[in-house]
Amino acid sequence: MLSFRPTTINKRFSVLAIAITCFAVTISHAQDSATTTQSSSDKLISKTVSRIVAKLMQDDHLSKRKLDDTMSNRAFDMFIKNLDPTKSYFLQSDIDEFSKWKTELDDQMLKGEFLAAFEVFDRFLQRVDERTDLAAELIDEDHDFTIDEEMITDPDLLSFAKNEAEARDNWRKRIKYSLLVLRGDANDEKADGDADKTAKPKDDPKERLRKRYSSFARRMHQIDAEDIVERYITAITTSFDPHTTYLSKGTFENFLIQMGLELEGIGATLSLMDEGYTVIKAIVPGGAAYTQGGLKVEDKIVAVGQGKEDGSLAYDKLFKEHGSGFVECTGMKLDDVVGMIRGKAGTVVRLQVMSENETELHTVEIVREKIKLEDSAAHGEVFEEGDQKIGVIELPSFYANMGGGGGRSTTTDVKKILDEFNSKDVDALVLDLRMNGGGSLREAIDCTGLFIDIGPVVQVKDPYGRIEKLNDENSGTAWDKPMVVLTSKFSASASEILAGAIQDYGRGLVIGDTTTHGKGTVQSLVNLNQILFSRIKNPPNEFGALKITTQQFYRPNGDSTQKRGVLSDLVLPSISDNMDNIGEADLDYPVKFDRVPEAAFEKLKMNRQDITSALRTKSKERIDSSDEFQKEISKINKYIELKNEKSVSLNEAKFIARRKELNAEKEDEKTIEKQMLPSKEIERNFYLDEVLRITADYVKMLNQKQLSLR
Rounded CA-CA distance 191/380 in Å is 44
Considering the domain boundaries, does residue 31 fall inside one? no
The pLDDT score that the predictor gives to residue 132 is: 96
Residues 662-669: contacts with CB under 8 Å, at least 24 apart: 662/358, 662/359, 662/360, 663/360, 665/635, 665/638, 668/635, 669/635, 669/639
Nearest in space to 281 (alpha carbons), one of 264, 295, 261: 295
State residue 267's pLDDT score.
80
Residues 91 and 235 both lie in one domain: yes
Residue in 249, 519, 547, 563 annotated catalytic = 519
Residues 267 and 226 in one domain: no
What DSSP character marks residue 439?
A: B
Q: Is residue 542 part of a domain?
A: no
Report the pLDDT value the prediction gives residue 190, as an integer from 0 to 100. 54
Is 504 marked active-site? yes
Consecutive 10-residue runs of the chain (710 residues): their mean pLDDT?
Answer: 52 39 35 57 92 96 96 97 94 98 96 96 97 96 95 92 97 95 69 47 78 86 91 97 93 68 67 70 77 84 75 41 62 76 84 75 85 74 96 92 66 97 98 92 96 97 96 94 97 96 98 97 92 79 93 97 97 92 92 97 93 98 97 91 90 88 58 51 92 98 73
In a domain, 531, yes or no: no
Q: Are 340 and 233 in a shared domain?
A: no
Angle between helices 225-237 and 69-83 (to 10 degrees): 130
Beta-strand runs (E) in 488-558: 509-512, 521-527, 545-554
11's CB contacts (< 8 A; 6+ apart) are: none
Pairing of strands 455-461, 545-554: antiparallel
What is residue 28's predicted lDDT score, i.e. its pLDDT?
34
457 with 449: CB under 8 angstroms?
A: yes
Query: Residues 331, 377: one domain?
Result: no
519 given a catalytic annotation: yes
Domain shared by 511 and 629, yes or no? yes
Angle between helices 14-24 and 40-60 (to 10 degrees): 160
What residue type is 44 in one-letter code? L
| DSSP class of 534 | T
Residue 499 identity (one-letter amino acid): A
What is the reported pLDDT for 237? 97
pTM over 0.95: no
Residues 231 and 310 in one domain: no
Distance CA 199, CA 196 (A): 6
Write phi, then psi, for 617 (nearest 5 degrees): -60, -50
How many domains is the chain partitioned into structurally? 3
The residues, any chain, with a CB within 8 Å of residue 97's CB and separated by 6 or more, are none
The one catalytic residue among 355, 409, 440, 493: 493
Pairing of strands 150-152, 647-649: antiparallel
One domain for residues 276 and 233: no
- Residue-level pLDDT at 265: 73
94 within domain boundaries: yes
Let me know whether 474 and 622 are in one domain. yes
Residue 247 in any domain: the answer is no
Asked if the structure places residue 631 within a domain, the reply is yes
Per annotation, catalytic residue among 94, 413, 472, 504? 504
pLDDT at residue number 685: 94
State the DSSP H helix or E strand holding residue 282, giving kind and residue range, or none if neither: strand 278-283
CATH of the domain at 690: 3.90.226.10
Q: Is residue 48 part of a domain?
A: no
Q: Are residues 236 and 344 in the same domain?
A: no
3-state secondary structure 615-631: HHHHHHHHHHCCHHHHH
Which among 369, 368, 397, 392 is positioned nearest to 381, based on CA atoms? 392
What distances in angstroms separate CA 601 from CA 83, 166, 453, one per listed residue?
A: 49, 63, 10
Cα–Cα distance for residue pair 120/108, rounded to 1 Å: 14
269 CB neighbour count, 10 Å cutoff: 13
Q: What is the 3-state secondary structure (H, E, C) of 74-118?
A: HHHHHHHHHHCCCCCCCEHHHHHHHHHHCCCHHHHHHHCCCHHHH
Domain boundary among the residues 319, 349, 370 is at 370
d(CA 515, CA 579): 12
Contact status, residue 424 vs residue 434, Cβ threshold 8 Å:
no
- For residue 299, the domain's CATH number is 2.30.42.10
* Single-letter amino acid code for the residue at 401: N
Instruction: Output the CA–CA distances (angstroms, integers) from residue 205 to 180, 202, 208, 263, 361, in the order listed.
Output: 9, 8, 5, 36, 12
Last residue of a domain, one of 306, 337, 370: 370
Q: What pLDDT was estimated at residue 183?
A: 82
Specify whether 375 is catalytic. Answer: no
Residue 354, domain extent? 263-370
CA dist 630 and 640 (Å) reads: 15
Are 426 and 279 within one domain? Answer: no
pLDDT confidence of residue 114: 96
Reduced to 3 states (helix: H, G, I; strand: E, B; else coil), residue 281 is: strand
What letter represents residue 69's amino acid? D
CA–CA dist 636, 191 (Å, integer): 30
Q: Quick one: 568 and 677 in the same domain?
A: yes
Domain membership flag for residue 507: yes
Task: Tell me: do 225 and 181 sit in the same domain.
Answer: yes
Spatial CA neighbour of 684 closest among 384, 457, 472, 484: 384
- Three-state DSSP at 153 gives coil
Which of 348, 370, 392 is the last residue before a domain boundary?
Answer: 370
Handedness of CA 234, 223, 350, 194 (dihedral sign): negative
Q: Where are the beta strands (DSSP E) in 134-209?
A: 150-152
- Mark out the alpha helices in 347-487 (DSSP H runs): 410-423, 441-448
The dihedrals phi and psi of 404, each to the nearest 5 degrees, come to 105, 180
